[in-house]
């Protein structure tokens, strides 16, 4: 799994590098947007070094897939603008990813399956809310309309959070079945 993760990281960074080189004439904001994938893709490795923790290889794998889909394909390659449903697919996957991470944070002594499921879903939904808040703040600070407020009002933001909830719920259903067996 570690080799696969390194391969995914290299693919993401190489794709980003060539995109940055191809857009050097488009201004600093575009260059910063395209360059930010370097930080987001390497974030698990930075967390491992800074906080002396060992992130699960499964978490890193899901993170890298998510970053490639959301950041590279969605933002840099502009799939969010090219395929209307792409945003909802990514947000559903983010619900699964954050539910998986939430599962890892369940305190060791907890036995109640319903508390665990509630914790997983609440953690995932908190992450979705924090992400939408981050997008909102970025829109205010830097302009733009990542949340598509001009076109949809709050519909896009709410649907993003709902499909993340659906992703977390699907993960929790699988978790419930696994725990009961």
Percent of the chain with pLDDT over 70: 95
Average pLDDT value for residue range 101-121: 93
Residue with tokens 């950041």, as numbered in its chain? 71
Looking at residue 90, what is its pLDDT?
Answer: 92
Percent of the chain with pLDDT over 90: 34
Structural domain spans, the chain: 1-77, 84-181
Contact 37, 12 (CB under 8 A): yes
pLDDT at 126 over 90: yes
Band (148; pLDDT cuts 50, 70, 90): low
pLDDT digits (tens, 9 = 90+) for 72-105: 888 888 898 898 899 899 999 999 999 998 998 8
Say which DSSP state 24 is in. G
> 55 — phi, psi (to 5°)?
-70, 140
User: Residue 29: which residues within 8 A CB-CB, separation 6 or more?
Assistant: 142
pLDDT at 63 over 70: yes
| Neighbour count for residue 118 (Cβ, 10 Å) | 12
Looking at residue 151, what is its pLDDT?
Answer: 66
pLDDT digits (tens, 9 = 90+) for 13-60: 888 888 888 877 877 877 787 788 888 888 888 888 888 878 888 888
Residue with tokens 């969010």, as numbered in its chain? 80
Average pLDDT value for residue range 127-138: 86
pLDDT at 153 over 80: no
pLDDT averaged over the chain?
87
């Amino acid at each position: 799994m570690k080799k696969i993760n390194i391969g995914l990281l290299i693919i993401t960074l190489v794709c980003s590098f060539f995109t940055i080189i191809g857009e050097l004439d488009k201004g600093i904001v575009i260059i910063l947007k395209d360059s930010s994938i370097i930080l987001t893709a390497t974030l698990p490795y930075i967390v491992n070094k800074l906080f002396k923790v060992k992130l699960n290889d499964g978490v890193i794998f899901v993170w890298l897939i998510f970053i490639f889909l959301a950041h590279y394909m969605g933002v840099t390659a502009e799939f969010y603008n090219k395929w209307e449903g792409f945003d909802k697919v990514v947000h559903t996957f983010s619900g699964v990813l954050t539910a998986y991470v939430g599962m890892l944070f369940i305190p060791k002594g907890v036995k109640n399956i319903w508390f665990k499921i509630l914790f997983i879903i609440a953690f995932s939904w908190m992450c979705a809310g924090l992400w939408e808040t981050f997008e909102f703040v970025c829109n205010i600070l830097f302009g733009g309309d990542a949340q598509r407020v001009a076109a949809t009002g709050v519909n896009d933001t709410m649907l993003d959070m709902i499909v993340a909830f659906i992703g977390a719920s699907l993960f929790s259903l699988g978790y419930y079945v696994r725990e009961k067996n």
